[in-house]
Amino acid sequence: MDERNTSNFLQAIVTEDLASGRVTEVKTRFPPEPNGYLHLGHAKSISVNFDLAERYGGRCNLRFDDTNPGKESQEYIDAIQADIRWLGYVWDGNVKYASSYFQQLYEWAVYLVNQGHAYVCDLSPEEARDYRGTLTLSGRNSPYRQRSVAENLDLLQRMQAGEFDEGAKVLRAKIDMSSPNMNLRDPILYRIRKVPHHQTGHDWVIYPTYDFAHGQEDAIEGITHSICTLEFEDHRPLYDWLLEHLPVPSKPRQYEFGRLNPSYTVTSKRKLRRLVDDGVVSGWDDPRMPTVCGMRRRGYTPTAIRRFCDMIGTTRSDGVVDIAMLEFAIREDLNENAVRGMCVLDPLKIVLTDYPEQQVEELRAPRHPSRGDLGERLLPFTRELFIDAADFREEANKKYKRLVLGKRVRLRNAYVIEADELVRDDSGNMTEVRAHIVPDTLGKDPADGIKAKGVIHWVSATHGRRAEVRLYDRLFSHEAPDRGQGDFLEHLNPDSLQVIAEAWIEPSLAEVVSEQHVQFEREGYFVADRHDSRADKPVFNRTIGLRDTWSKG
């Protein structure tokens, strides 16, 4: 049975298009601009396009809309491809580029000029804004609108030859300066940019605008359903106008869906870049970033991200999506698949006075409580152990279920112990707790009937391994950091990262390889850092806690 979310209006459209014969095969595309790293919003768009094609046995292209070379680079192209592959998607055929169609697009620009539907305009950007009008005031025709076809062709060819400076001239469509839709008020089709292109080098000094290139690229590739977010809804009349006025090989249709606006997050490329440039985060793949590479390094899985995108549905309305839904998806995935292990973040030494100093007992524990296929792990048990300092008190009420002087607690997967004495240093700091093992309690309750009140985790002080643990949390403490007044940086969470330089892990965890997930029992879900973790110095990033600590109430 298909368990995917059925809240997807696009499926109804595609079903009808196939039934009516408007299309015989579904073909979609994901068209990123290579001017930054993909973020969670892009992941939603990727899932919409690729999943829709897959559902109907169609194909999905990956096409870089690389029409603005001054802000683009091969670095972003490579990163975007890597992110899509990591999410588990496969595009149809070779990677495609708008730049591959530059010659055809230029020829179509010439065609529009010959048909009297485009002209070269000399207005400065400031003058053009004035002539364009406002939402309540009609625009005015450019004084260059009535140039002859011959003059426009000559000027366009000279633009292409590099004769004019940047900003001196643009090619504009001749549509309607009184249109209530601002996008139809003689939009720019080509502008002069004297910068090299990462794909075409110095072949071009004029570049098409996104609005001019996009629909024609769709037509060249035979895209049947051109899917974008709602901010492009007002651009659809221009998309259709260009397809109607050009001899394109096919007539794709544009459809818009509500963009993903996750709470406690910003997805503006400009704001994400500021976080990087201002040193708020360590880079684009900082585990607190909502970039795909950042989420990957944090320990989010493709399964969880795709499940989240499916859970929120695909609708025609914009709205804020609770980021807790993504956190639920990753907890659900990792609870089923992450191996278990013990890690002590704030070590307090326990000395078992009745246990031989040189003895090492190899206890066994499952790697996962319900996944026998994942096998077992060995836990060296020794005289000296570490427990978390928060798991011990000299005195406590009955609600406290951990170790207390004179009381008992079970060490997870090991014995019941009883605390006898607390040792402090000259400054009064706790240095160790002396305790003894309650006899015959390995996997059993004490024979005297006095049961332990709780279970705590531990690591051998002599056989455990040191590790660096990075406790990541949400980067912002405000639900809508960039949708109110003031600077979004005012809402940074001061506790979004805590680095524990010397945590202690059980020996089996030192064998965890890069990007492998583990549940530190009673602490949360973690992942071995894909860049920094090494066998001689393990580094773990906290993906998510065991439970939601941000719930309102």
Write the secondary structure of 220-244 as one string of H (helix), E (strand) and C (coil): HHCCCEEEEEHHHHHHHHHHHHHHH
For residue range 70-124, list pLDDT tens digits in order. 999 999 999 999 999 999 999 999 999 999 999 999 999 999 999 999 999 999 9
Tell me what pLDDT residue 482 has.
Answer: 86
Query: How far apart are the C-alpha atoms of 271 and 480, rounded to whole Å?
Result: 14
Tell me what pLDDT residue 483 has.
Answer: 80
For residue range 460-472, list pLDDT tens digits in order. 999 999 999 999 9
Mean pLDDT in residue range 387-407: 94
CB 97 within 8 A of CB 74: no
For residue range 340-395, list pLDDT tens digits in order. 999 999 999 999 999 999 999 999 999 999 999 999 999 999 999 999 999 999 99
pTM of the full predicted structure? 0.93
Closest by alpha carbon to 483, among 317, 315, 262, 322? 262
Supply the mean pLDDT for the chain: 95
All domains of the chain in start order, with CATH: 9-257 (3.40.50.620), 269-337+467-544 (2.40.240.10), 341-463 (2.40.240.10)
Tell me what pLDDT residue 511 has.
Answer: 87
- Output 351-355 pairs: Cβ under 8 A, ≥24 positions apart: 351/383, 351/384, 351/432, 351/433, 351/434, 351/435, 352/383, 352/384, 352/385, 352/417, 352/435, 352/436, 352/437, 353/420, 353/434, 353/435, 353/436, 354/436, 354/437, 355/382, 355/383, 355/437
Tell me what pLDDT residue 548 has.
Answer: 83
User: Which residues are catalytically annotated?
Assistant: 33, 259, 269
Instruction: Convert 231-267 to b/e letters by CB count within 10 Å (16 or more is b).
Output: ebeebbebbebbbebbebeeebbbbbbbbbbbbbbbb
Mean pLDDT in residue range 182-191: 98
